[in-house]
Amino acid sequence: MTSVFRDEHWIGGAFVPAGSGDRIEVENPYTEEVFGHVPAGTAEDVNLAVSAARAAFDGWASASPAERGAALSRLHRAVAARADEIARIVGLELGTPLKIAKAVQAGLPLTVLAGYAELAAQPPADEIIGNSLVVHEPAGVVGAITPWNYPLHQVVAKVGAALAAGCTVVLKPSELTPLTAYLLADAFAEADLPAGVFNMVTGTGPVVGAAIAGHPDVDLVSFTGSTVTGRAISRAAADRIAKVSLELGGKSANVVLEDADVVKAVKVGVGNAFLNSGQTCTAWTRMLVHRSHYDEAVELAAKTAAGYTVGDPFDPATRLGPLASAAQKERVRGFIERATARLVAGGLDAPVPGQGHFVAPTVFADVDPDSELAQEEIFGPVLSIIPFGDDDEAVAIANNSKYGLAGAVWGSSDRALAVARRLRTGAVDVNGGSFNPFAPFGGYKQSGIGRELGAYGLAEFQQVKAIQR
């Protein structure tokens, strides 16, 4: 296994030695071996990065749309040249199976970045409202704090949008999966963007994340992660009335109506719930099935889950890799241990490899909609199946959540669309509609504030000004 050691931050267009000699070790969750490290950044490192971003802001904000678009296109080419290495590093530091890492962990952010290169070159047009000229301007210096489960996509969704809008950025990637972000920094070095438009400081949330969230020269904080941390970031930013964009937790419902294609709905639903070992905020972890199909759906889900091969992320046969850390494994096991529903697949006694942070793909039936299994974000390969009697009851169960990030509905087109419109959630897939990386992404309720991706994501990093004439 290749070792990857990084001892510098990316600040002001160059790799800069960290202010402290402290390091954060990076573990392979399959072998449980440390194979790399990054600097444990400090508040002073953040100060340097924010100062660099502030110094670069006026020049980048005043650059023409064509210049910003061309710069992001160069960055896209530099990232694309590293696609295989990105997938490999994600496999090492997160445990995503290589096939999925290539398609999703490397492929999706490339699509998103290409989209932002186009949007940068074609910004929103000025608007005339009576005697007012309405213009869109960059929000300023952005602090971006990203999670470990999609370590490049979540970064690009923020950094690409912010740069396209004319903002400059200070990024803190997750300390669990920081090495992928260094490949992005390498791409910035190759793409030769203006110094200071993108800066990166690695470190922990309580030190580097807190320093970014509370920094007086950061105009907007964009965070993806847990709802608990989102609240803390909101409080820190509120002290100076800074704008906050949050993409937080989810407990999405997959609604299988009476007239649905049950076989397809269950197969796709299980795959969605177990994507990235269930470590996906949009995962459909609650499968709601009409009583007329319930027994069939439970049997199909259990059989499908049993077909998921668990093991080495670099083995082509593997469909489910390890969880990201020992702590995450124990957290997920705790939910399974406390569950009172009927276990139909997996569980704590199911066989898994002797090494690695594995939890077997697990399915529970007859889940109480108000129970912990149905209410809390588990963030592991655990699916809950819940029966319902009619469309109204399905909607009530689906909306019985503090979250509202994603979901799905299966049934005849008009009926499924009618149910989808009633779900209090930011995105709904009808009959297997594919993910659209240019559509707005974000949540209702405690799933967040604001939107990412596409034109709506770019708008999060802009201010709107009215000029009266």
In this structure, the strands spanning 253-256 and 286-290 are: parallel
Active-site residue numbers?
A: 247, 281
As a whole number of angstroms, the distance between CA 8 and CA 13 comes to: 12
CA-only gyration radius of the chain, Å:
22
Name the 3-class secondary structure at 21: coil
Distances (CA, A) of 337 to 303, 343, 360: 21, 11, 13
Write the DSSP assignment of 302-360 as a string of letters: HHHHHT--BS-TTSTT-SB---S-HHHHHHHHHHHHH--SEEEE--TTS---SSSS---
As a whole number of angstroms, the distance between CA 128 and CA 305 comes to: 56
**Could you tell me if 426 and 252 are in contact, meaning their C-beta atoms sit under 8 angstroms apart?**
no
CA 73 centroid distance within chain: 23
Q: Give residue for tokens 């509370």.
A: 214
Angle between helices 83-93 and 179-191 (to 10 degrees): 160
Phi, psi of 64 (to 5 degrees): -70, 155
Closest CA to 169 of 160, 178, 177: 160
How far from each other are the two terminal CA atoms of the chain, in whole angstroms? 65
As a whole number of angstroms, the distance between CA 192 and CA 70 comes to: 11
Distances (CA, A) of 158 to 171, 335, 397, 431: 9, 32, 32, 29
As a whole number of angstroms, the distance between CA 143 and CA 100 comes to: 29
